[in-house]
Chains A and B, each alone.
Chain A
């Protein structure tokens, strides 16, 4: 079996990626100290990565005495995050090696995790976590993911989901409501698929990686786009934008939340805001204030939203 599930390159006119204008994370825990999300972002010369991990608290709820009574989900998201960090620092050009780094991190979890506990069945997995990563290397962006954390591109045309949810569900809207079961997740007890997709930008844009605590408690994907751009337009600088997003997500979410952001091709924060002002007004008018039912609005919204998914 191939190490990575390769998806075809999607491209129009190529826009060379260099250093991000800004790179940061917004993260919060439902219960302080017990959050099962983790993240990593870094820029080394012209290479960057934004990565999020969401330890699966359902199937990974076993607690390990050797890990200070933390759950397998808690340990897994951090261990896999460490594996990805090592890969980015040591051999980012060998993307076939990424899964190996992740597996080695999980092997260590297994080796030191106590073997107690008698629970069996398909609802138990050892050290399960999702992953969503966008890695910019040599001017090209590549997404890697497993589970229901998402990779996005936000540009003047709107929000585009780049990853495809590993969920037993219909689409990005139904996946919010149906509470669908994950069909693929990183774990130590079973093989998993690490999806890959290469993306070429044709204009300035912002790559985002997000755990479901950021988008899964909103009414629709349209609301997530509006949250991102409305908060951007309401603030004066990156730090304020970060703070406002944090406050907004915390207001509605019922889960730990982690959002990593890397913007490319903007002269400054003002030019970034300017490029999103028209689109934000359009989204507000047509998808937020519009009294039409959400499924109707989703019908018209999803063409642009799924543009990159359809190209795979």
Chain B
């Protein structure tokens, strides 16, 4: 009676990748991880009978507004996969670790761009996943505000960014049921505050995921693909 009825998912992913100079020794690993990540999520979902009707991936490459000016933030549109998989791969492969100035980076601005993505709002079920790879703490939001390249309309502080993410009672810019945030980031400000206080967050405290075991990786993929 119900055999022709299949639940399908629209999956959107945004990959925020730290492209500052300190990432130089691991940027190639991160690129490979980013390219494998969407594939691993989708194949695990399919293996669990969660059929994907649409898959889109977007890249936010970030550095430091004060140090890197116009090269501080690269934000792409969503690539529709598998149709644009070659374009997506070309984009990821082209990323270069360079610049960055001091140790903390403008990771929160990258996260803000990701949260405000033009998410798919249609479809039976949705997954909206943001993944951050970085080896550095964050500047406070607005640290680079004096840069002429700093975006207007940016969240003024972490409290506002938290509201953009949303909570149990309030809806932000991302679907409260579909959202997942994966942090491959050090246990350092403000990543640790986000890890402790935001809902639907998975944090692997590390230098951009360095030292990630297969066991932990599988746990991350299972957590994203399963209902929570």
Contact = CB atoms under 8 A, between A and B. Distances in A.
Contacts of A180: 177
A59 B5 contact: no
Nearest to B199: A122
Contacts, number: 114
Contacts of A223: 1-2
User: When A and B form their complex, which 3 residue pairs have the shortest distance between CB atoms, in order from nearest?
Assistant: A254-B49, A58-B226, A61-B222
A181 B222 CA distance: 15
A61 B180 CA distance: 15
Interface of A: 30, 56-59, 61-63, 71, 117-124, 168-169, 177-183, 212, 217-219, 223, 226-227, 230, 248, 251-255
B188 interface: no
Contacts of A248: 1-2
Nearest to B51: A254
B178 interface: yes
Interface residues of B, number: 40
B204 A183 contact: no
Contact of A118 (B199, B205, B225, B226): B205
A181 B219 contact: no
Contact of B228 (A63, A178, A182): A182
A121 B215 CA distance: 17
16 contacts: A58-B227, A58-B228, A59-B228, A118-B204, A119-B202, A119-B203, A120-B204, A122-B198, A123-B228, A168-B168, A179-B126, A181-B177, A181-B200, A218-B2, A223-B2, A255-B48
A125 to B, nearest CB: 9
A284 to B, nearest CB: 11
A181 B195 contact: no
Nearest to B212: A118
Interface string B100-142: 0000000000000000000000001110000000000000000
Interface string B26-50: 0000000000000000000000111
Contacts of B187: 120
Scoring A61, A71, A183, A254 by chain B CB atoms within 10 A of each residue's CB, the highest score goes to: A61
Given A122-B199, A227-B1, A252-B2, A177 B124 contact: yes
Contacts of A30: 48-49
Contacts of A119: 202-204, 216, 219-220
B7 interface: yes
Contacts of A56: 226-228
B152 interface: no
A64 to B, nearest CB: 10
B228 A117 contact: no
Contacts of A218: 2, 5
Contact of A123 (B126, B178, B223): B223
B219 A58 contact: no
Given A30-B49, A254-B7, A168 B215 contact: no
Contact of B195 (A121, A217, A226): A121
Given A118-B204, A168-B177, A181-B199, 13 more contacts: A30-B48, A57-B222, A57-B227, A58-B225, A61-B222, A118-B205, A121-B202, A122-B200, A182-B228, A183-B168, A217-B7, A251-B3, A254-B7
B45 to A, nearest CB: 10
Nearest to A182: B228
Contacts of B206: 118
Contacts of A252: 2-3, 5
A61 B7 CA distance: 22
A178 B177 contact: yes
A181 B228 contact: yes
Contacts of B216: 117-119
B176 interface: yes
Contacts of A62: 219
A248 B180 CA distance: 33
Nearest to B7: A217
